């Protein structure tokens, strides 16, 4: 076994210390709001809403639901949609969505059935339990909107929602 030159060992040690110090400095510096990019500004609240949805659904007796299920249950919901459409909405592969659909089906939230006259085409339907969970989600989301309205004030909340509608209807969201 060949022993590396001292300079190489020194380089590795210094490089390791440099990376550690840089990581500590980056973690200790607060991110300035003006430096945050739109992706984080939209992602962080969306993730907080999803966590809140799951917590609320679990508290309401829908104990099996987890964050990954939100990919299927997100607006406009899976009722009447084909698995491929649900996968496209979620930005996931059909295989991944089918795994989530199997999970939701085993818990009694959905059923998948054949589309008459369309060969192997399948369609997803919410069960009674699925409709109840979806209704609970709407109630939780209304509560979240009320809290955001109270935090931002009615005028700023209306502006925020209006701007999000503009983005929703624009090519920016496609």
Nearest to 173 by CA among 71, 91, 92: 91
Model confidence at 93, pLDDT cuts 50, 70, 90, reads very high
Q: Locate tokens 């659904």: which residue?
A: 57
- The 10s digit of each residue's pLDDT in 98-134 is 999 999 999 999 999 988 888 888 999 999 999 999 9
What pLDDT, on a 0 to 100 scale, did the predictor assign at position 27?
64
- The 10s digit of each residue's pLDDT in 12-22 is 555 556 566 55
Tokens representing 19?
Answer: 């990376």
Instruction: Output the pTM of the full model.
Output: 0.76
68, burial (CB in 10 Å: exposed 0-12, middle 13-18, buried 19+): middle
Percent of the chain with pLDDT over 90: 71
The set of residues, in sequence order, having a beta carbon less than 8 Å from that of 31 and lying 6+ positions away, is: none
For 1, 46, 96, the CA distances from 76, given in Å and listed in that order, are 63, 16, 19
Buried b vs exposed e over 125-159: b needs ≥16 C-beta within 10 Å? ebbebbeebbebbeebeeebeeebbeeeeeeebee
Q: Locate tokens 């550690």: which residue?
A: 20
């Amino acid at each position: 076994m060949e022993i590396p030159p001292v300079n190489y060992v020194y380089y590795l040690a210094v490089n390791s210390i440099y990376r550690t110090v840089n990581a500590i400095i980056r973690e200790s510096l607060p991110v300035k709001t003006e430096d945050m990019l739109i992706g984080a500004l939209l992602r962080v609240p969306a993730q907080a809403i999803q966590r809140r949805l799951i917590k609320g659904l679990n508290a309401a007796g829908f104990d099996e639901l987890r964050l990954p299920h939100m990919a299927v249950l997100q607006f406009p919901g899976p009722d009447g949609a084909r698995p491929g459409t649900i996968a496209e909405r979620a930005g996931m592969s059909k295989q991944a969505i089918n795994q989530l659909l199997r999970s939701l089906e085993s818990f009694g939230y959905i059923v998948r059935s054949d589309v008459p006259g369309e060969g192997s085409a399948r369609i997803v339907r919410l069960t009674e339990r699925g409709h109840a969970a979806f209704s609970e989600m709407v109630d939780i989301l209304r509560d979240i909107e009320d809290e955001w309205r109270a935090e931002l004030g009615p005028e700023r909340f209306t502006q925020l929602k209006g701007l999000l509608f503009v983005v929703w209807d624009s090519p920016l969201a496609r």
